[in-house]
Amino acid sequence: MGYKPKHFSFNVDGGRCDECKGEGVINVSMQFMADIELECEVCKGTRFKSEILEVKFDEKSISDILHMTVDEALAFFKDNNEEKIVTKLKPLQEVGLGYLQLGQSSSTLSGGEAQRVKLASFLVKGVTTDKTLFIFDEPSTGLHFHDIQKLLKSLQALIDLGHSVIVIEHQPDIIKCADYIIDIGPEAGKHGGEVVFAGTLRI
């Protein structure tokens, strides 16, 4: 039908809904109140033109796929033997972001989630000649214990690839895995700022 990859992106003109520009919602400015968002009446929140939604992969339209979580998408594409897509999605699951929707706006992510998305993007690249110094600010915020273990494995994977990692963290399970610890305190704010401890953790 002459469609190109851009027709299945809501970021550029082509297949996205012309009314809402691929947002799925219309923003209504309220003069004395917070702005409100209304579902687009043309695409009904799907973000795409009707002719694009008619294109299906295993009975799923692009809108259906973008509404899947990472975990759901991994299972879906594994069942369809799409190993290239699985390889790209797997790092997101490994950093504890399996619950995010594929089409979720980056502006809705918390600081910790955004950091872990960037972490996953570097893990996808694998071995590179350029080495990077990563600084993460409390990436474990909001994570369950099991997801913290996934995060630790991902951080170690960066180190194994030759990168360096600095983590600002209060989570004991992450601190005890550090090669070198700098504890700044003794308290917060104006009561802190002093190096209380610097060295390796010996258990």
pLDDT above 70 as % of the chain:
99
Under DSSP, is residue 168 helix (H, G, I), strand (E, B) or coil? strand
Per the prediction, the chain carries an average pLDDT of 91
d(C-alpha 74, C-alpha 85), whole Å:
8
- 83 Cβ contact partners less than 8 Å away, ≥ 6 residues apart: none
What residues form DSSP beta bridges with 101?
69
Tell me: pLDDT of 143 over 90: no
Whole-model pTM: value is: 0.76
